[in-house]
A and B are shown apart, each in its own frame.
Chain A
Amino acid sequence: EVQLVESGGGLVQPGGSLRLSCAASGFSFSNSWMNWVRQTPGKGLEWVANIDQDGSGKNYVDSVKGRFTISRDNVKNSVYLQMNSLRVEDTAVYYCAARTWIFDLWGRGTLVTVSS
């Protein structure tokens, strides 16, 4: 079955860290760009970061640059999002999504809540 499954979300205090994981199956993960997209009730959908097939190319939205790091492991068919210096405004459901720009495969998301 073609699927993406996120994990690692939870409640964290402002300034804290969290590492999200996304496990892929059923498609050629090592040939696919991967993305993280987040969704909040107030701001809607926001693309966060992406990574190319071998992990050498990475891009980030300005609001997370220097705080978040995307990485991948093509042996484990997984993509990760290390989130440091978390802020209240980072609270969202975080989805991983496959492909370069057109996201035709999404996970079900993991909720990150940043609150004291």
Chain B
Amino acid sequence: IVLTQSPDSLAVSLGERATINCKSSQSLLSSANNNDYFAWYQQKPGQPPKLLISWASTRESGVPDRFSGSGSGTEFTLTISSLQAEDAAVYYCQQYYSGPITFGHGTRLEIK
């Protein structure tokens, strides 16, 4: 399964909304349990990726509520509602619907 992220990079002002998209080459929605097998990660320089959201919209414990995930099937969105300086990072989407697990190529988010 190929995941295509857009844009490749974006620059957003502090306090503004940032939106990152991820499109899957096939549906990630399971008809058995109605769950999307999809996650978002954040990676800052020199650090490993950090899990932000799983099952398309479930925020991990400790992740600020300005981060939200939406979408289903083949199209997904990560929204940061009010950008903070510490949100500058590369964001990756991931599918775990079928093997092999695959990631998007990443979106670099900068502060304008």
Q: What residues make up the interface of A, taking CB atoms closer than 8 Å to B?
A: 35, 44-47, 59, 61-62, 95, 97, 100-104, 106-109
How many inter-chain residue pairs (CB < 8 Å) link A and B? Answer: 45
Closest to A102 in B: B54
B60 near A61 with CB under 8 A, answer no
* Chain A residues with CB below 8 A from B60, complex form: 104
Majority secondary structure of chain B interface residues (helix, strand, loop or mixed): loop
Q: With both chains docked as a complex, state the minimum distance between the C-beta of B62 and any C-beta of chain A, in angstroms.
A: 11
Q: What residues make up the interface of B, taking CB atoms closer than 8 Å to A?
A: 37, 39, 41, 47-51, 54, 60, 92, 94, 96, 99-106
B103 near A106 with CB under 8 A, answer no
**Can you list 11 contacts pairing A with B, beta carbon distance less than 8 Å?**
A62-B100, A95-B49, A101-B37, A101-B96, A101-B101, A104-B54, A106-B48, A106-B49, A108-B47, A108-B48, A109-B48
Give the distance in Å from the alpha carbon of A62 to the alpha carbon of B100 in the complex.
8
